[in-house]
Amino acid sequence: MSIVSNVSPLINLARINKLDLLPRLYDSVLIPQAVWDEVVVQGVGQPGAEEVNSASWIKRSTVVSAPLVQALRQDLDAGEAEAIALALETKAELLLMDERLGRETARHMG
């Protein structure tokens, strides 16, 4: 099963020492560059930063459709916008996102 994750699920699972649940359920988790930057680069020293950085099952990917991300950024932050765009581009079966507006947008986009 192909899945894409936004920032919050990764950080929140890391905070409760349960990030290891994801590779038990899925072979790999795809994250866009904006999610990587927020968790690993900007979040250095914070919960999830080292875990995401060292997890071999988390794969980074660059979003191809900059116009889609730009349109989504009207209402969403960079991580949410890129996660939705990446899920659409890769035809992911699941998108992990806890923000209400992001979920509603993703649901609306199919």
Each domain of the chain, given as residue ranges in start order, spans 3-108
pLDDT in tens, 39-90: 999 999 998 999 999 999 999 999 999 999 999 999 999 999 999 999 999 9
pLDDT of residue 26: 93
Q: Residue 1: pLDDT above 90?
A: no
- At the top level of CATH, the class of 3-108 is alpha beta
Give the separation between CA 78 and CA 10, rounded to whole angstroms.
Answer: 16
pLDDT of residue 82: 97
Query: What are the residues whose beta carbons fall under 8 Å from the beta carbon of 50, sequence distance 6 or more?
Result: none
Banded model confidence at residue 110, pLDDT cuts 50, 70, 90: confident
Q: Name the amino acid, one letter, at 42.
A: Q
pLDDT of residue 86: 97
Strand positions, DSSP E, 1-110: 3-5, 29-32, 58-61, 94-96
